[in-house]
Amino acid sequence: MKQWLRRVAIAVASLLTMGLSGIAWYGFSTPTLDRLSLSHTLIDATSIEGKHLLATASARADFDQLAPYFVQQSRRAFCGVASATIVINAILHPQPPVTQSTLFTPAASAVRSEIAVSFAGLTLEQLAEIIKVHGLQVRTIHAVQSNVESFRNMARATLSEPSEFLIVNFDRTTLEEEGMGHISPVGAYSAETDRLLVMDVAATKYPYTWIPVQELWNAMNTVDPDSRQTRGFLLVRASGTQPIIPQNAEQ
């Protein structure tokens, strides 16, 4: 009987170890290349049509600032982390550049630790606070606080100037993509097609993508189960600079 119990205990311990190892691997491993197809309403920025939209975009100042610093997320839940590093580097040009590891300074880790983010990601508010501790100004706007017309106007104005940047938090399933909540910076706006260029940091799965403003808004106007608030977007700029859109003009 004792021998049987000992074998059971060893088996349970082995299963627990394997389970914890699997969870750790998932949280800390680099996403593998697995290109997925886009919905028919979305446009791959590397396609002929996608390249045309960028070349003729009515607002693309931010794309030229962000592209040199673009990185794909290094862990499965690091979409917010990658987005933050891209925007921080584009605004501050620090030497050496901020990386997805060095982003977690003591002040940033006090908001949410690297380990916690590795397994559960960041809410919009947490991402804003981490960017703030790196010396930038951030306006957090949840979808419930705005509307699609206001979002379009703010996005167009922001993307026309190199001094302010737009990060969006949206639900992938609304766009018929694989996954749930996601975060990425936006690089350009096409007035010709009323689309925004989302520079998707999950680059192993999806390319930069032109998304209709209404569809992106619908994907942001969803509830994040972690924060229990609607998703939304961040407007990020250097400290001491004036916002392109006055706060009282958001509605």
Report residue 220 as tokens: 């942001």
Side-chain-side CA neighbours of residue 53 (13 Å): 27
Q: How far apart are CA 198 and CA 192, in angstroms?
A: 16
Per-residue pLDDT of the chain (251 residues), as tens digits, is 556 545 544 543 444 444 444 444 355 567 766 789 999 999 999 999 999 999 999 999 999 999 999 999 999 999 999 999 999 999 999 999 999 999 999 999 999 999 999 999 999 999 999 999 999 999 999 999 999 999 999 999 999 999 999 999 999 999 999 999 999 999 999 999 999 999 999 999 999 999 999 999 999 999 999 999 999 999 999 987 778 765 655 54
CA angle at 128 for the pair 125 and 134, rounded to the nearest 5°: 145
pLDDT of residue 250: 54
pLDDT of residue 25: 39
Q: How far apart are CA 161 and CA 202, in angstroms?
A: 25
Which pTM does this prediction carry?
Answer: 0.87
Q: How far apart are CA 221 and CA 230, in angstroms?
A: 6
